């Protein structure tokens, strides 16, 4: 008999009522007496498990089945019975149960609640818990919604390289890619590392952002995006920094900073709409168990426009706030997490774009404003997370760009391609990067980035 997925039963229960079907999954829990037993079976096709009823009298293998350990894989043939009065809408009365793969008695995930810290010690098994079923379904649906959003607007999806030879953010936090034997690195006559002898004939790194490559394609397709992994060797042990994370980076031609913010806002609204339709059970669970008030908060976000404030005004608000920050806010400095959260959680109580940042603390490619000291940049701050998006209008004026290379100590020869984009039909354009894990944190209420990545890579930790 062909296996039916549990999600199909939840969609079309009436169609299967009182017929014999076959399901397969992993045992979440077992309860039994000498006459009756109950298995809670999950196959991961949907959030809710299936209740399987076992009767000693009619099931020849009863004793063997109830002796199974939690975590075992089984297939069950049985009759589906609708149970409109009960907590679950139906149950499966087993006629035959086949063991597909036994589980050892030391299976660590029992029905009780485990802490997220405990689950972090077993990244290979934690996907079998309710929390990770909810989080990773949301993550998957979010990724789909992002592609769906850009596709519906005719954007071209560009796969930008993961191995790169330039530092987009100029922050020097890159992982090196090399085939050198660390015990025997070739040196030049001057004693420097001889990258000419390395695999690519030059120094290469893992990318921190696909932006510069995306810009090349935006100058041909107008509207493009890249969505892929980024790597940062930031040695910051925080709840929202990972060494490997995913980033969504659209790049739009003939567009300015206002268009850029509108795009980010539209994208987030599209994702929320999809999530409410596709992940209702997951959101209910997360609201009940992980983050009380989550659904109401997300509904409010979907319904109201995001706030906008300039960096200069934001500094003024922080200084006037009367709050005791660990670091006082001062014009010219970056916003600390405590400042970000104060602005979005206390002042605006919703997502807020902070625009027009001091040139000194932002990347070389951002467009200089007429005041000569700020750039057309925006950060989107959201409650609970802080910075979710960073973007800007790009400097399209060749002379200003050359000044920026000099100011930031960059070698203009390494950025020849980037200057060329301006020399050959360079136009006004803008883009942003959205940290995908931070988005999933925001949408699930999960507080630590380690719990929204399947196998997190952070400073000092890379399991498997």
- Tokens at 65, concatenated: 């089945």
- Tokens at 314, concatenated: 């934001």
Is the Cβ of residue 234 or residue 244 nearer to Mg ion in the bound state?
234
C-alpha span between 314 and 330 (Å, rounded): 10
**What's 360's DSSP letter?**
G
Work out which of 43, 395, 437, 451 binds ligand 4AD, going by CB under 6 A. Answer: 437
Shortest gap between Cβ of 307 and ligand 4AD (angstroms)? 17
The H-assigned helical ranges of 408-452 are 416-423, 436-444
25 is a contact residue toward ligand 4AD (CB under 6 A): no
Which residues in the 372-411 window bind ligand 4AD by CB under 6 A? 387-392
Q: Which does 168 bind (CB under 5 to 8 A by kind): Mg ion, ligand 4AD, none?
A: ligand 4AD
Hey, how many other C-beta atoms are within 10 angstroms of the C-beta on 457?
15
Is the Cβ of residue 234 or residue 284 nearer to ligand 4AD in the bound state?
234
Is the Cβ of residue 209 or residue 374 nearer to ligand 4AD in the bound state?
209
Q: Which does 286 bind (CB under 5 to 8 A by kind): Mg ion, ligand 4AD, none?
A: none
Virtual torsion, Cα 196, 202, 206, 211, nearest 10 deg: 180
Which window, 10-18, 46-54, 238-246, 296-304, contacts ligand 4AD (CB under 6 A)? 238-246
C-alpha span between 63 and 417 (Å, rounded): 71
Q: How many CA atoms lie within 13 A of 120 on its CB side?
A: 14
Is the Cβ of residue 97 or residue 377 nearer to ligand 4AD in the bound state?
377
247 is a contact residue toward ligand 4AD (CB under 6 A): yes
Q: Which does 52 bind (CB under 5 to 8 A by kind): ligand 4AD, Mg ion, none?
A: none
C-alpha span between 355 and 312 (Å, rounded): 9
Is the Cβ of residue 149 or residue 432 nearer to ligand 4AD in the bound state?
432
Shortest gap between Cβ of 437 and ligand 4AD (angstroms)? 5
C-alpha span between 224 and 191 (Å, rounded): 43
Virtual torsion, Cα 209, 405, 236, 195, nearest 10 deg: 80
Work out which of 241, 274, 308, 341 binds ligand 4AD, going by CB under 6 A. Answer: 241
How far, in Å, are 193, 322, 361, 387, 409 from residue 173 at the CA level?
A: 19, 35, 16, 19, 16
Q: Which H or E element spans position 24?
A: strand 20-32
Shortest gap between Cβ of 334 and Mg ion (angstroms)? 9
Phi-psi map region of 123: left, alpha, beta (phi>0 left; psi -120 to 50 alpha): alpha
Which window, 30-38, 148-156, 239-247, 279-287, contacts ligand 4AD (CB under 6 A)? 239-247
Phi-psi map region of 139: left, alpha, beta (phi>0 left; psi -120 to 50 alpha): alpha
Q: Which does 389 bind (CB under 5 to 8 A by kind): Mg ion, ligand 4AD, none?
A: ligand 4AD
Q: Which does 91 bind (CB under 5 to 8 A by kind): Mg ion, ligand 4AD, none?
A: none
Is the Cβ of residue 290 or residue 388 nearer to Mg ion in the bound state?
388
Work out which of 78, 433, 445, 456 binds ligand 4AD, going by CB under 6 A. Answer: 433
Hey, how many other C-beta atoms are within 10 angstroms of the C-beta on 390?
20
Is the Cβ of residue 128 or residue 232 nearer to ligand 4AD in the bound state?
232
Q: Which does 247 bind (CB under 5 to 8 A by kind): Mg ion, ligand 4AD, none?
A: ligand 4AD
Is the Cβ of residue 49 or residue 390 nearer to Mg ion in the bound state?
390
**Contact call for residues 97 and 61 (beta carbons, < 8 A):** yes
Which residues in the 361-390 window bind Mg ion by CB under 5 A? 390
Which residues in the 165-184 window bind ligand 4AD by CB under 6 A? 168-169
209 is a contact residue toward ligand 4AD (CB under 6 A): yes
C-alpha span between 209 and 201 (Å, rounded): 22
CA-nearest of 34, 7, 4 to 19 is 4
Shortest gap between Cβ of 110 and ligand 4AD (angstroms)? 32
CA-nearest of 418, 361, 379, 439 to 167 is 418
391 is a contact residue toward Mg ion (CB under 5 A): no
Shortest gap between Cβ of 429 and ligand 4AD (angstroms)? 11
Q: Which does 137 bind (CB under 5 to 8 A by kind): Mg ion, ligand 4AD, none?
A: none
- Tokens at 356, concatenated: 């027009």
Shortest gap between Cβ of 388 and Mg ion (angstroms)? 10
**Contact call for residues 448 and 116 (beta carbons, < 8 A):** yes
Shortest gap between Cβ of 178 and ligand 4AD (angstroms)? 22
242 is a contact residue toward ligand 4AD (CB under 6 A): yes
CA-nearest of 57, 101, 102, 60 to 77 is 60
432 is a contact residue toward ligand 4AD (CB under 6 A): yes
- Tokens at 354, concatenated: 């902070």
C-alpha span between 203 and 211 (Å, rounded): 20
Chain residues binding ligand 4AD by CB under 6 A are: 168-169, 209, 211, 232, 234, 241-242, 245, 247, 249, 387-392, 431-433, 435, 437-438
Chain residues binding Mg ion by CB under 5 A are: 390
């Amino acid at each position: 008999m062909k296996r039916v997925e549990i999600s199909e039963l939840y969609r079309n229960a009436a169609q299967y009522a009182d017929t014999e079907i076959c399901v397969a999954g992993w045992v979440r829990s077992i309860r039994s007496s000498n006459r009756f037993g109950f298995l809670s079976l999950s196959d991961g096709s949907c959030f809710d498990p299936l209740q399987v009823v076992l009767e000693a009298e009619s099931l020849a293998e009863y004793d063997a089945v109830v002796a199974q350990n939690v975590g075992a894989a089984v297939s069950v043939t049985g009759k589906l019975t609708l149970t409109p009065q009960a907590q679950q809408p139906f149950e499966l009365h087993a006629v035959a149960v086949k063991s597909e793969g036994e589980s050892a008695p030391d299976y660590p995930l029992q029905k009780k609640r485990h802490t997220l810290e405990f689950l972090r010690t077993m990244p290979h098994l934690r996907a079998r818990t309710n929390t990770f079923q909810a989080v990773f379904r949301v993550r998957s649906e979010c990724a789909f919604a992002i592609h769906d959003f850009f596709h519906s607007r005719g954007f071209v999806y560009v796969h930008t390289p993961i191995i790169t030879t330039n530092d987009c953010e100029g922050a020097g936090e890159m992982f090196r890619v090399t085939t050198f034997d660390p015990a025997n690195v070739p040196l030049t006559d001057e004693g420097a590392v001889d990258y000419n002898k390395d695999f690519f004939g030059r120094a290469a790194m893992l990318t921190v952002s696909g932006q510069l490559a995306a810009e090349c394609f935006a100058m041909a397709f107008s509207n493009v995006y890249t969505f892929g992994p980024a790597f940062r060797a930031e040695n910051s042990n925080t709840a929202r920094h990972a060494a490997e994370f995913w980033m969504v980076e659209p790049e739009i031609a003939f567009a300015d900073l206002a268009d850029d913010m509108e795009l980010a806002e539209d994208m987030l609204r599209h994702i929320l709409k999809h999530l409410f339709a596709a992940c209702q059970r997951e959101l209910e669970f997360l609201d009940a168990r992980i983050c009380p008030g989550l659904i109401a908060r997300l509904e409010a976000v979907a319904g109201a426009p995001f706030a906008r404030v300039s960096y200069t005004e934001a500094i003024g608000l922080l200084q006037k706030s009367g709050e005791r920050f660990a670091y006082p806010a001062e014009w010219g400095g970056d916003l600390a997490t405590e400042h970000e959260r104060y602005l979005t959680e206390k002042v605006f109580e919703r997502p807020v774009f902070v625009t027009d940042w001091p040139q000194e603390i932002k990347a070389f490619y951002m467009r200089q404003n007429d005041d000569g000291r700020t750039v057309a940049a925006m950060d989107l701050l959201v409650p609970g997370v802080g910075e979710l998006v960073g973007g800007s209008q790009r400097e399209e004026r060749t002379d200003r760009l050359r000044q920026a290379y000099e100011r930031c100590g960059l070698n203009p020869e390494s950025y020849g391609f980037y200057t060329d984009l301006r020399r050959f039909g360079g136009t006004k354009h803008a883009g942003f990067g959205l940290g995908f894990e931070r988005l999933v944190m925001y949408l699930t209420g999960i507080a630590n980035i380690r719990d929204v990545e399947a196998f997190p890579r952070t400073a000092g930790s890379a399991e498997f």
